[in-house]
Amino acid sequence: MDWLKLNKVKSKKCFEEMNKNNNFNPSCDESYDELRKDVLNEFHQTLKELEIGVSDIKNKAYDVDYIFGIKLYKLLTFKYQISENEAGDDDIWRYIQLKVCPEIIKYRYEISEDRYYKKPRRMWLETLWWYIYLAWKDDEKTTKKILKDNTTDTILNIIDRTGTYGYRKDLFNEILYKKFLYNVTDRDQFRRIMTLNTMKLQVIDPYLVNGGLEKYVEELFIESGVELNKLRKS
């Protein structure tokens, strides 16, 4: 796929024109026609799976996020072969969000500059792709099971924790898996885990901990008050 880009200045102009005219219809290059069709199909398949309409999305926000997120991740990664470097280019996402499928961002967030183009770690489709990328465990079924009981707050706590050199995929993957395994559902507790991780990374390399990455993450949970004997039964 030859990914087109839209910089922040042009994105602002595009967004303001759409908002002024109340016209959130796409205006993408014809090379994106198939991608648009595929994205919309996955989006509407998500609503069908949840048995909701577009007016119900806010009430089912996280369910839409993680189910559609998995579909979007599979589509862009396996069919359109977007690379990690390309997925890290905000201008590629700005083009997709403003030119290819602007209406679905409006369904999810109404008129939000941050979610369309303004803030890199707030643009909806970009956020979903990275959330699933960091959580992906073997296959779709396993990943879906791991993410099912999370919330939109979980997404923020993951996506907002990028470091100087980007995301540590293996580390975040293990944290999300352990969150599922230890049945951590309290938002404040998970926030404590992520905050503690950020602090520890300033002085500790998880791979150098005795027991490796898995032990490092296990100790994060223990120090944050998680009882490891309360393993998820299913």
Domain layout of the chain by residue ranges: 1-137, 161-234
Query: What's the Cα-to-Cα distance from 43 to each of 52, 126, 182, 194, rounded to whole Å?
Result: 12, 15, 31, 30
- Residue 233 pLDDT greater than 50, yes or no: no
The span from the CA of 42 to the CA of 124, in Å, is 15
> In one letter, which amino acid is 129?
W
d(CA 222, CA 215): 10
pLDDT for residue 167 is more than 90: no
The Cα–Cα gap between 125 and 116 comes to 9
* Residue 145 in tokens: 């099971």
Mean pLDDT computed over 157-180: 87
What is the reported pLDDT for 228?
Answer: 80
What DSSP state is assigned to residue 166? B
CA–CA dist 149, 119 (Å, integer): 26
Nearest to 154 by CA among 42, 47, 69, 59: 69
pLDDT digit string, tens, across residues 136-150: 999 999 999 999 999
- 200-221 residue pLDDT tens: 998 999 999 999 999 999 999 9
Tens-digit pLDDT profile for residues 54-100: 999 999 999 999 999 999 999 999 999 999 999 999 999 999 999 99
Per DSSP, helices labelled H in 25-97 are: 33-50, 61-74, 84-87, 90-95
Span 16-28, average pLDDT: 92
